[in-house]
Structure 1
Amino acid sequence: MTVSTLSAAVHITPTVIKTLYTHGKRKTKKLKDRDEQEEATDDIFFDEAFHIVKSFILLGTKNTVESLQAFTNTHVPAPPWTAVTPVRVPLHSCNQAADLLTQWFGPEDLKRVVGGERWWQVRGLDGIDAEWIAEKSHLRPKSAHIDPGRKYSEEEKLVMSMEQLETTMLYIHGGGYYWGSINTHRYQIIKYARKIRGRAFTVNYRKAPQYPWPCPLQDVLAAYLYLIQPPHDAAHKPILPSKIVFAGDSAGGALCLTMLTVLRDLGQPLPAGAVLISPWVDLTHSFPSIHTNTATDIMPSHGFMNKPSDSWPVDPIKEGGHVARAHSDPPLKPCHANTPGADKNVTRDTAQVPPTDAEKHSGSAPVGSKQETLNSSASWVPLKSQEKAALFHGGKCDPADRRHGRGWDQNRSQSNAMPIDDLAVNNGRGPSSDSISDLHDIDFWQPNPPKVLMKNTGDVPLELRSQIQHYATTEQLSHPLVSPILQASLGNLCPLYILAGDGEVLRDEIIYLAHKAANPAEYPVREGVIRDGLRQKENAHKFSTPTKVHLQVYDGMCHVLTVFTFTSSADYAYHSIAEFAKHVTQRSAEHLDQNPSPVLQQTLGPDVPSCAMNDRSGDMLMIRERVDIHGRVRPMEPKEDITALQLRPSEIGIIKEETLFKWLEGQEEWDRRFKYRATKVMKNRKKFEAKAKSMIKNARQRGLLLAGESDDLVERPIVGRSSAAHGAIQEDRRWGPFDLVDEQPPPTAIAARRDTREALALLKKSIYHTAPATHKTIPRVKTVDVVLAAFDPHDAPFRPPRQSVSEQQVRIGMQYIHGMRMWQSIVSYFGRKVAVKAAEDTRRVRDALMETGDKAASTEVGHSRQ
């Protein structure tokens, strides 16, 4: 069963009933034990909503990627009291963004890391779906730049009526980089637009795995450029960067941060500020909370997995296992771990690993299984162990140890033992000559993915043979534009307001991120990242000015607390985000330099109050706070008491053994559960490959000609006209699926694939409908193909076929009973109930204070509730 309103209801209903029972049981026990400690789940509405969301995400992992994408990318109408205008960010803006990324990477990294400069610019739609959002009550009917000689559509008039709104929020939605859309987040964005009394702009960026990194990054960059440098036919005027604030949650928050670093590095104008809500900034999962907070978060315990489908996973039937012992010094080349045949040498013979004594008696374990990897021994493999690399340094104490007053104990575990931060860039200093004589050893004690950091220093590193994240290949996970926690510096950025839930699995990396941005010198990146990226080496020296940061960690809250709009915590968060957005876009630069946060403006005086919990170092100022379940702020504990801040740079951005086996356990369960489905997927892919070959052959026979080809290279076009409409060559569409001969895209990218239905739709559109500039001709479709397309629910006889659900919205009837709309109705109902209860509580407290004569306190209570 696919993800649908019906399947979601069937799956979630038992969860609702169970939660209601367990909630009552737990509350009864607390009353009986006289336990007065308050928890977020004491609120039945939050308890139910938490488990509903968690159950839905789990349902998504039991279905295909395409099914989850289609459900969450279904168009849902906006409520009547809002002004929502769909627009399309044009190819012109997409090309501008591509030029910036091409400049950022440079030719060498484009080829070595990204796999080329063309494949990620290939798209199905003629731009990016986007929306302008505002409250109708905030609009003015006239605009100063109306051209009397031009006829405007109603949508254009609506966009122009938003011109008077001063603050613009560019919102980037989350969803693990592979699901979610402007539809799943529209109601949240509407709330932001209302509270900031401004306008919001949001984009439906392309999703992985069909459009992996850096496709989403290109799209969000294009959206920003569309705002500040709109094409001549856009309905809006250029918006000053100082009037724009970025905002995003989860993957969207990370995209906001990554976009900021790209703009900063290239000298492009930055926005006024950025709001990062639970940003996912470390795709290697190297921080402790990824393991300790599983029970208190909505994220699946094993990460995002899915039922096998045409698009994902790359290799549903993994011969030789998902993990194997590393058998050679050099790591695999980028984008190659999952390509066909890349793992054929991962065998017992080629790895030169004889069977262990246990395997001789009980039979050999499969290569790459958990049992096999745990039985590995360094003595049988012609590869240095991590212990040798660690001892190579002679037991020196690293700078991080000295800074935190720690010594080095050779008996400690691998994650704490290696004194490798002698190479970390600190205060602009590079590696010292006496700390290491062989930089190649970094690959062993700072193993980049797909290699794994082992707990036991005597073990040979394991190496992943599967892609573990939808967004990027395993080899790319430690790239600073994939995991921005590995940026050499997060200094010199615009003011950041960063929010995290204390119960979410990403808590530690978010806390570390905030401190790293505010203290660039104190939190350097590990040397392996510096060595592998020339731009990172430059940035470590160039961007040393601390970024103004306001960090808040919310008690009892899970990932993306703003989803639960009816809670007191979320209510406070929405209010604070709106105040931040208005503050940074409506104050002068001089004022913001001294008061980057509205909280600072209100509280800082001659004696800075402890609730600001600021850290001063020169001109640097950071606010560090915790927020309780009622939205009350208190100081955050000292940095010395925060576990995440005690990690060494050398431990960050590395896949660790515990994380590996946690993922592997879940992946092996999915392999067993969907074994038959995986076999079926492989057969389907072969059928699609045959269809693709036939499509290309027919197109060539009917006159398809590419740039640089002679007419003699193709067969004579067949005489006769087709009833299909003729397409057009689009000059702004630079590349198509036929232009990737010399490139090496990630295995999931449909731009170069021929074995999925969505890849065939992209191929057909580029041949017959909207061809790139590299095509010289557009052949006509055969009449028989037109007839067949009329009976194919995934095709159309006279229009381009539907593109991937990771890019194009699904349009259906009966939209008002769609699951996402039902969820918003439930949230609204909970919100009304909670609002009534909160108003009653406020009134009761205020009345009680008035009776005691404490008028000042009663007034303060009233203001805090507002």
Structure 2
Amino acid sequence: MGVSTTSAAVHITPVVIKTFLRHGKRRAHKYKDSSEEEEARDDIFFDEAFNIVKAFLELGIQNTIESLQGFTNTHIPAPYWAAVAPVQAPLSVCNDAADILINWFGPRELKHVVGGERWWQVRGLDGVECEWITEKEYLSSDPVNCANGENISQINETISRMEHLETVMLYVHGGMFKIDSKGSVNTHRYQVIRYARKIKGRAFAVNYRKAPQYPWPAPLQDVLAAYLYLIRPPVSAHHKAVPPNKIVLAGDSAGANLCLTTLTVLRDMGLPMPSGAVLISPWVDLTHSFPSVMQNTPTDIIPPHGFLAKPSTLWPVDPLPPSGGRVCPTKSNPPPEPGHADTLLPSKKRVQIERIDHTAGPVQSQEEMLHHPDDQNDSEASGSSSADGEDPDIDLWEPKPPKVLMEDPNAVPLELRSQIQQYATTEQLTHPLVSPIVQGSLGNLPPLYIIAGDGEVLRDEIIHLAHRAAHPKEYPARKGVLKEGNRQNENAAKFTTPTKVHLQVFDDMCHVLTVFTFTQSAKFAYHSIAEFTKHITNENAGLEPFPELRPLSRASVDNEALDEHKKKRSLFQRLKGKVPSSGLHHHQNNGDRLFEDEVTAVTGQVQNFKRKDLSSTETTATVNGDRLEASSSQKDTFIMIRERVDIHGHTRNMEPREEMQCLKISPSQIGLIKEAPAVRWSRGQEEWDSRFAKQAKRVLQSRQQSERKYEALVRSARDQGLLLVGENDDPTNASAGTPGRSTSSNPVDGTIQEDRRYGPFDLDDERPPPSSIAKRRDTPEALALLKMNIYHSVPVTHRTVPKLKASDVVKAAFDPHDDPIRPPQQSVSEQQVRTHIIPGIHGLRLWDAILRYFMEEKTKRARGVVKDRVDRAGILEEQKAGKDAR
């Protein structure tokens, strides 16, 4: 059946009922035990929403990746109060982004680590889908002036009416780089609208290509292209260039990873950087080497075995498990050492070593492998990117299976026989642009506001990331990373200036807490993100990049309850003169000065942070109880704000660094493949292999059918005159005027596009990851991509554009994956799906309705509390006035 609104409703409805019953029992037990400890899930709305999201993700992993991608990337109309203008960053901008990455990698790394420079530039669409988003009430009422007097489209007019909004948030959505409840611009639109409203600006959301069809570095190229589209718009764009200091990058989960890696690329290449970045639950360690990955599973929404999937032609790469299992005892001694994947860029010495048979003799224990005197374990043997000449055999190089670091040093290590992540191959997981936790340096970046949930599985790596950025010298990268990458070694020495960081860890919150918009924690987060964005894009921000130096640590008044507060404004004004000013915290909202938590909720006084010269290397100061770390090398400023936030939006000091276990982990232990998460994944995958064994066999048959269709499509195209550059070396046929060849910048008109560099026929000497559809022949999506690049959006490497035969048109009419007239629908990981049902009843729309219902109910409660407080304050004032009169 796949993932659909109906299947989701059938799966989730029992969960809602069970949660309601369990919640009542749990609250009754707490009341009986006189427990006064407050938890986030004491709120029935959060408890329900938490279990709904968790149930949806569990439904997702019981279906194919394509099915879940299609559901989450279904186009949903925007709400009536939002102004949404879809645009496409064109191929020319994508090419600029590609050139930047090509220069960043260098030729050797491109060839051996990435797998080539062309495959990740192949795409089905004519650019990257993006959206301009803001509130309709923020649009300018001024008419749009056209220089040539021509009328412009409604979309372009909307974009022009946004121009006066200087602050821009470039939002990169999450979704584990591929899928989940947050998988596209559609699933994120309501959150992005909320940000645009709060910053009183505009947002720019990017719908980057997803893995596993478009694995790393394809998504990174698209995010970089979106940023270039803002600061260097092409002639076809209808917006003016946005100054980098008016842009804030923001993203959640995988999107936050892409934001951070984009920043490091911009920094390394000396390009203009944005004013700052907001990282919400960033996923920065794809090896899962931190303890919270195992410890926090019960308190998070992430499935315990990770994001598995029902077998399909796309994934897993091996539908049936390899002989011996996907995880099995190692068959060889190092290299690689336990905990490591083998190198993709071996040195001459390593290639020579592999010519010798190391499988003979007994397999060593882990302890013996880690302390073997043989030179095969040294860094040179394990793979080094030294500048020596390449061995001719390096093109035939095949890395050995990754070894797992065992908890028992006397055990024989396990080895991985299957790819465990869908974003990148196992050998690529420790690349700094895949797992930025292993970057040589995270210094010299713009200010970062980082959010984590204390109950999420990624908590430890997020906390460690924040401290690595703020203290580059105290938290160095693993030596192996520096040895294997010349750029990372240079960065460690070059970028030593601390990045200014504000880290907040929210009590009882799970992964991407901002999804639960109605909770007080999420409201506090949205407010803080908006304040940071407005402050950092202000030219007067100066050396203090965080508005939290003007304390924002008390729970803010809901925007939804604003009318109720305004009605009581006169009473507030009377009370204002009777309450000490030091006991009040004011909050600016829509030009009105509101009393936060209605005067009676104030629990502390604001302490002024007085700047002074700092004599020690590191000093701490307190602002409203918030711990600041300052540096003597940068007087009159600070390095880091470290806070915990309770479920009511109140902050407190984070414990000292020396007491935090995740900061005590040795750099040598970060970015290693460890036993516990590997075994847990293996058990889940074994269950899936058993459960879907028949489906896996059918998948193999489907792949064979797709391969036959692929070969038939190529033969037919050749018969119709398909020629590539370099074929039929008659110079007259290579000219641009040759019949059958034409060039155009217009998309999908059956002509060769000057800005489309490569297609599936241009990858013979490249080695993309096995899941990439660019070079595959055994999936329907690969067929659609090939047909698009032959007949519709043709790269410049083609000489001719064949015309479809009548028989091909008839066949396409009966193929659900094809179309006889229009270009074929591209992969759901790239192109949005147009729903065939009423958009208003799509599951994504229903989820938003649920959240808005919870929000309204919470607001009603808040209004009731406000009314009671105000009424009590009024009665007390009247009683006091009566006493004074007597």
Secondary structure at the residue paired with 1:380? coil
Task: Name the residue aligned to 2:402.
Answer: 450
Instruction: Output the CA distance in 2 between the equivalents of 1:553 and 1:16.
Output: 28
Residue 549 of structure 1, CA deviation: 0.3
Distance 1:175 1:854, change over 3 A: farther
Instruction: Output the CA distance in 2 between the equivalents of 1:326 and 1:436.
Output: 16
Instruction: Output the CA distance in 1 between the equivalents of 2:57 and 2:490.
Output: 41
Instruction: Output the CA distance in 2 between the equivalents of 1:142 and 1:472.
Output: 48
Instruction: Output the CA distance in 2 between the equivalents of 1:839 and 1:645.
Output: 42
1:481 pairs with one of 409, 433, 453: 433
Task: Name the residue aligned to 2:803.
Answer: 780
Task: Decide whether the 8 Å contact of 2:334 with 2:376 is kept in 1.
Answer: no
Instruction: Output the CA distance in 1 between the equivalents of 2:209 and 2:810.
Output: 31
1:669 pairs with one of 674, 687, 690: 687
Residue 387 of structure 1, CA deviation: 3.7
Task: Name the residue aligned to 1:722.
Answer: none
Give the 5 Å matches for 1:361-400.
380-381=362-363, 385-387=366-368, 389-390=370-371
Instruction: Output the CA distance in 1 between the equivalents of 2:210 and 2:421.
Output: 12
1:821 paired to 2:836:
no
Instruction: Output the CA distance in 2 between the equivalents of 1:852 and 1:718.
Output: 91
Secondary structure at the residue paired with 1:450? coil
Residue 844 of structure 1, CA deviation: 2.6
Give the 5 Å matches for 1:79-98.
79-98=79-98
Task: Name the residue aligned to 2:289.
Answer: 286
Task: Name the residue aligned to 2:586.
Answer: none
1:563 pairs with one of 515, 522, 529: 515
Task: Name the residue aligned to 2:502.
Answer: 550
Residue 726 of structure 1, CA deviation: 6.6
Residue 463 of structure 1, CA deviation: 1.9
Task: Decide whether the 8 Å contact of 1:46 with 1:567 is kept in 2.
Answer: yes
Secondary structure at the residue paired with 1:171? strand
Alignment deviations for residues 284-342 of structure 1 (CA, whole Å, 9 cap, x no partner): 00000000100000000011100000111100112211123141534476679xxxxxx
Residue 711 of structure 1, CA deviation: 6.2
2:549 pairs with one of 600, 603, 613: 600
Residue 774 of structure 1, CA deviation: 0.4
Distance 1:852 1:521, change over 3 A: farther
Secondary structure at the residue paired with 2:639? strand
Distance 1:777 1:26, change over 3 A: same
Counterpart amino acid of 2:662? A
Task: Name the residue aligned to 1:585.
Answer: 537
1:329 paired to 2:334:
yes
1:800 pairs with one of 816, 819, 823: 823
1:743 paired to 2:766:
yes
1:611 paired to 2:625:
yes
Instruction: Output the CA distance in 2 between the equivalents of 1:319 and 1:773.
Output: 40
Secondary structure at the residue paired with 1:232? coil
Distance 1:2 1:230, change over 3 A: same
Task: Name the residue aligned to 2:174.
Answer: 174
1:534 paired to 2:486:
yes
Instruction: Output the CA distance in 2 between the equivalents of 1:599 and 1:726.
Output: 53
1:202 paired to 2:152:
no
Task: Decide whether the 8 Å contact of 1:701 with 1:718 is kept in 2.
Answer: no
Counterpart amino acid of 1:227? L
Task: Decide whether the 8 Å contact of 2:342 with 2:400 is kept in 1.
Answer: no
Instruction: Output the CA distance in 1 between the equivalents of 2:703 and 2:358.
Output: 31
Instruction: Output the CA distance in 1 between the equivalents of 2:408 and 2:282.
Output: 31
Secondary structure at the residue paired with 1:245? strand
Task: Name the residue aligned to 1:67.
Answer: 67
Task: Decide whether the 8 Å contact of 1:124 with 1:803 is kept in 2.
Answer: yes
1:647 paired to 2:670:
no
Instruction: Output the CA distance in 1 between the equivalents of 2:458 and 2:204.
Output: 26
1:768 paired to 2:791:
yes
1:621 paired to 2:659:
no
Instruction: Output the CA distance in 2 between the equivalents of 1:718 and 1:198.
Output: 50
Counterpart amino acid of 1:36? E
1:732 paired to 2:755:
yes
Task: Name the residue aligned to 2:196.
Answer: 193
**Matched residue count:** 766
Task: Decide whether the 8 Å contact of 1:702 with 1:780 is kept in 2.
Answer: yes
1:211 paired to 2:160:
no
Instruction: Output the CA distance in 1 between the equivalents of 2:221 and 2:729.
Output: 35
1:831 pairs with one of 837, 855, 859: 855
Give the 5 Å matches for 1:30-429.
30-142=30-142, 146-179=146-179, 180-320=183-323, 321-324=325-328, 325-331=330-336, 380-381=362-363, 385-387=366-368, 389-390=370-371
Distance 1:742 1:238, change over 3 A: same
Residue 596 of structure 1, CA deviation: 1.1
Alignment deviations for residues 731-788 of structure 1 (CA, whole Å, 9 cap, x no partner): 1000000000110000000000000000000001101111101000011111101011
Alignment deviations for residues 20-57 of structure 1 (CA, whole Å, 9 cap, x no partner): 01000000000000001000000000000000000000
Counterpart amino acid of 1:705? L
Instruction: Output the CA distance in 1 between the equivalents of 2:58 and 2:344.
Output: 28
- Report percent identity of matched pairs: 59
Task: Decide whether the 8 Å contact of 1:728 with 1:771 is kept in 2.
Answer: yes
TM-score calculated relative to the size of structure 1? 0.85
Task: Decide whether the 8 Å contact of 2:334 with 2:377 is kept in 1.
Answer: no
Counterpart amino acid of 2:609? G
Residue 451 of structure 1, CA deviation: 2.2
The range that moved more, 693-702 or 65-74, is 693-702
Where does structure 2 lack aligned partners over 5 or more consecutive residues?
A: 346-353, 385-398, 552-606, 611-620, 741-747, 880-886
Task: Decide whether the 8 Å contact of 1:335 with 1:473 is kept in 2.
Answer: no
Task: Name the residue aligned to 2:653.
Answer: 635
Counterpart amino acid of 1:232? V
Instruction: Output the CA distance in 2 between the equivalents of 1:216 and 1:293.
Output: 28
Residue 458 of structure 1, CA deviation: 2.9
Instruction: Output the CA distance in 2 between the equivalents of 1:254 and 1:598.
Output: 24
Task: Decide whether the 8 Å contact of 1:65 with 1:307 is kept in 2.
Answer: yes
Task: Decide whether the 8 Å contact of 1:326 with 1:451 is kept in 2.
Answer: no
Distance 1:669 1:534, change over 3 A: same
Secondary structure at the residue paired with 1:592? coil
Instruction: Output the CA distance in 2 between the equivalents of 1:137 and 1:788.
Output: 49
Residue 454 of structure 1, CA deviation: 1.8
Distance 1:109 1:6, change over 3 A: same
Residue 642 of structure 1, CA deviation: 1.3
Task: Name the residue aligned to 1:396.
Answer: none
Secondary structure at the residue paired with 2:186? coil
1:698 paired to 2:745:
no
Alignment deviations for residues 660-716 of structure 1 (CA, whole Å, 9 cap, x no partner): 101101010110010000000011001100110111111111111001111689x9x
Task: Decide whether the 8 Å contact of 2:333 with 2:369 is kept in 1.
Answer: no
TM-score calculated relative to the size of structure 2? 0.83
Instruction: Output the CA distance in 1 between the equivalents of 2:739 and 2:259.
Output: 50
Where does structure 1 lack aligned partners over 5 or more consecutive residues?
A: 337-344, 354-378, 394-434, 720-724, 856-866
Secondary structure at the residue paired with 2:129? strand
